[in-house]
Structure 1
Amino acid sequence: MNQQALIGAGLGLRGPHVATVLGCTPRVGWWETHSENYFGGGEPVAALERVRERYPVSLHGVGLGLGSVEAPDGDYLKQLAALVARIEPALVSEHLCWNRSGSRYFNDLLPVPRVEGALELVARHIDATQNALGRPILIENVSAYVAFERELCTEAEMLGELVARTGCGVLLDLNNLYVNALNLGVDPLAELARLPRHCIREMHVAGFEWLDTTAIDSHGAPVCDAVWALLDAALDRFGPTPVLLERDTNLPPLDELLQEYAQVEARVEAATARMAAKASRSAEEATC
């Protein structure tokens, strides 16, 4: 079973939808699932193998905590490496976050303060992870609800430097970027401009919800107009890139989710057409 490249639009695969996917094989370009849900083997992994026989698959982790002070957990890496070897995913991704201190684990994706020493620490942990898996990984930007004093760079600048130091790629989550714009005043277009064009290997879109005056990255609502607009801007900057629609809570029936997925597909196709038209105009101008 060879790795397959991700092309166009994909959809997050969640447990309640697996049987439907296997039963009716919907027209979806590729699926992404959370790595940890398939640690330990058993029927879930067997079902994911059957999905993998029909579609490209991407593995997306939420538990590694690359920004924690401690090195990546050895048992976690062994389980992830075994899953990667069995499924042969097109891509493997994790978050630029921390989630533990000593023996205490936190069920959250906590943002890494971009202070002195943080870049070197995260780079070491990415190197260790890539060595354990025998392949490069993607690192995702995260939502944040507080800002830190005396930070040395923006999140986009840190991601770009991690790419340069480790050879990893970037998974650009546009909903997270927009949530940070609402909560912290981050300029999302400026962050897009700071990311090297070559480093974006995958993008995510999702929905958020309000808790009083705070935007919460819940992945439990439809994509809003502002995130769709960010997707168009990102596709124009980085070119046709695999784009995933995520939905983790308030999970609707698959048929309903596929209607929103069609919007992702249409926007990726429109961006591809815009790039082709631009290339054609440039070629015509060059021959004049």
Structure 2
Amino acid sequence: MTQSAPKPPIVENSRFPSGPLPPRAGAGLKTDHVDSILADDYRIGFLEVHAENYMGEGGPAHRALAAIRSEFPLSIHGVGLSIGSEEGIDTAHLERLARVVDRYQPSMVSEHLAWSSHDAGYFNDLLPVPYDRQTLDRVVAHISQIQDRLRRPILLENPSTYVAFEQSTMSETDFIREIAQKSGCGLLLDINNVFVSATNHGWKPMNYLRDFPLELVEEIHLAGHAEDVDDEGDLILIDAHDRPVADAVWKLYETVICQAGALPTLIEWDNDVPEWPVLRREARLADAILDRLGPASLLGSRHAAE
């Protein structure tokens, strides 16, 4: 039976405007861009930050984020909860995340289907999990723990992967669908991750998207990827977040919007970050697709009614 996720708390006398993310393009917030964003005639749909960058108590980063949050919807994206870990959720880290969420009252909170910690060690990477029943039950329990503490549902992001596990007994799409159904979480569809994983493992991204539960998607991520070769000289793609969105990823995005309707769409650019006008240009490309294809989508009426 599908569990009902807790609803976001109603915050009275909030210092920030409330409401869902708009079905428009957003961008990852970089402190160097704050002044340009606030002065720009083009109003970006929303901004997203990595939670771990704001777990300290004060300083310029918090002042900048408070200024942005007063003007724009906000999404908070975690990278350190290690949801797939066998050792359980780090409750101290979860408490730090809860303080950031309570402080800024974002429209969305999301995390990755991955693990990044073991014993006392922390790996600066998002590592894959096997798709089997034991892992699924563990991830569902961890998401439920997170949602109970935050008092709101979170979104779970599909991974970019470079290896697969022989012990997997489920497809990635079935695994993610069942996690969402059992935990009550929503989904964040990273389309660049789909393309990266499909290329690395030799399967077709369109087949993946046909199987993906688009009706559970509440946010989309787009990013650029880098090309490399593995030890055998075969092409491998890296989820680099250091360049514009590739044409092939834009085409997949158009397909998703035709099916799912207009959804909040983030442009991710975390390395070799350019000046704000470059990110704005990418966001405007996404907005153009949302405006052109979203209203005529097969699931568009679902989002219009929400």
Normalised to the residue count of structure 1, the TM-score between the two structures is 0.92
Q: Distance in 2 between matches of 1:129 and 1:253?
A: 35
Residue 175 (structure 1) shift: 0.3
- Point out which structure has higher relative CO (alpha carbons under 8 A, 6+ apart): 2
Structure 1 unmatched ranges of 5 or more: 280-288
Verify: 1:29 aligned to 2:45, yes or no: yes
- Map 1:78-93 to 2 at 5 A: 78-93=95-110
Q: Which of 255, 260, 269 is the matching residue for 2:282?
A: 260
Residue 19 (structure 1) shift: 3.5
Query: Deviations for 1:96-117, whole angstroms, at most 9, x for unmatched residues?
Result: 0011111111110001111240
Structure 2 unmatched ranges of 5 or more: 1-15, 230-234, 302-306
Opposite residue 160 of structure 1, the aligned amino acid is R
Residue 12 (structure 1) shift: 1.0
1:124 aligns with 141
Worse-superposed segment, 197-206 or 89-98: 197-206
- After superposition, the Cα gap between the structure-2 partners of 1:14 and 1:58, relative to the gap in structure 1 and judged at 3 Å, is same
Q: Distance in 2 between matches of 1:179 and 1:36?
A: 25
What is the root-mean-square deviation in Å for CA atoms of aligned residues?
Answer: 1.6
Q: Distance in 2 between matches of 1:20 and 1:62?
A: 26
Q: Distance in 2 between matches of 1:266 and 1:245?
A: 14
Q: Distance in 2 between matches of 1:56 and 1:195?
A: 27
Q: Which of 219, 224, 238 is the matching residue for 2:241?
A: 219
Opposite residue 290 of structure 2, the aligned amino acid is V
1:153 aligns with 170
- Report how many residues are paired: 278
- Map 1:180-259 to 2 at 5 A: 180-212=197-229, 213-259=235-281
Verify: 1:171 aligned to 2:192, yes or no: no
Opposite residue 162 of structure 2, the aligned amino acid is Y
Question: SS state of the match for residue 10, structure 1?
Answer: strand
Opposite residue 128 of structure 2, the aligned amino acid is P
Question: After the TM superposition, which parts of structure 1 deviate over 4 Å for at least 4 consecutive aligned residues?
Answer: 23-26
1:115 aligns with 132
Query: Deviations for 1:40-72, whole angstroms, at most 9, x for unmatched residues?
Result: 121222321111110000000111110001111
By percentage of residues, which structure has more helix? 1
Verify: 1:5 aligned to 2:27, yes or no: no
Query: Deviations for 1:194-220, whole angstroms, at most 9, x for unmatched residues?
Result: 222321000011100112321111011
